[in-house]
Structure 1
């Protein structure tokens, strides 16, 4: 089982995202519409596992598989949909993961879901603090059990996501 580490927000996370986003843009070229920094490392002040989550948005998700070799050349292991239909998932760093890439096709509900969650936490710092505190508590409680950590934060994350989606649609 992987260790669970939740750390205080690091100012270098946006720059780590920008570096990877540049390489991803070079890989996908015109197939790429946009690249977003998502997940907890994209929310200033939020405690997070030190893994940069990146969400490229592409024109055609079926074409992404053609780029597996180029993604491997910049350090990413392709995992296919990895449990989420319509997504392509890549990870970097092996057991000491440093980056996750979640690729969606333009218009996929996954794009809206991730952007709503991120933007809601960015504009509601009291909710972000509550979420960060829960993650830190769970990391302390389950330092060697990622599944229990994920299960423990799932309910709060789903509650935040529902509020975020409603908020996002009204903004």
Structure 2
């Protein structure tokens, strides 16, 4: 097994957005009890595709938070030993029916052709994985912050976006505020 602290090769240095910019045409939907079911189906699919590798697989994003309205896209994070060793995971995920959308430093994104499941791949120990889990777990247990996040998303989605990534970037300030609260980093934090 490869040691994740020593990548096999240098990582990519640019962002490759396969297929180019895509306009955002999604609406928020009330929480759907089927989202965890979809996650579990894809978790099994991912684990089968990547067996016998030891990978971490977690349901992240708004669809992982009961009671939170979300775009109907199930987000999954997968931690692999070495993000630069695409031969260890990318071909297997593509063979399992996912398509490559993003290749950028430290991160790969594959998704279903229907674009309803996004699989974010990071190297094990990447801080981004911990941040996704921190946000998810905090929103699951803090109703006020869950309401703030949903309200922010509703406001942002009332506008037109040329690119889904621009919408995601617009949520950054409130996400950072909620993560600070989760870490007890600002007055009034729980």
Do they superpose with TM above 0.5? yes
1:136 to 2:136 alignment: no
Matching residue of 2:125? 107
Q: Counterpart in 2 of 1:28? A: 50
Shift of 1:30: 3.0
Contact 1:36 1:55 in 2 (8 A): yes
Residues 107-126 of structure 1 aligned to structure 2 (within 5 Å) = 107-126=125-144
Shift of 1:80: 5.1
Partner of 2:71, secondary structure, is coil
Deviation for aligned residue 1:145: 5.8
Aligned residue pair count? 163
Hey, which of these two has a bigger chunk of helix by percent? 1
Q: Which structure has the bigger radius of gyration?
A: 2
Alignment gaps of 5+ in structure 2: 1-22, 185-190
Residue 45 of structure 1: aligned partner: 67
- From 120, 136, 145, the counterpart of 1:127: 145
RMSD: 2.3
In the superposition, the TM-score normalised over structure 2's length comes to 0.76
- Report the CA distance shift for 1:104/1:45 in structure 2 as closer, same or farther (over 3 A): same
| TM-score between both structures, scaled by the size of structure 1 | 0.83
Distance 1:146 1:78 in 2: 16
Q: Please, which runs of 5 or more residues in structure 1 have no aligned partner?
A: none
Q: Closer, same or farther in 2 for the Cα pair 1:88/1:144, shift >3 Å? A: closer
Tell me, in whole angstroms, the C-alpha distance in 2 between the residues paired with 1:33 and 1:70: 13
Aligned to 1:15: 37
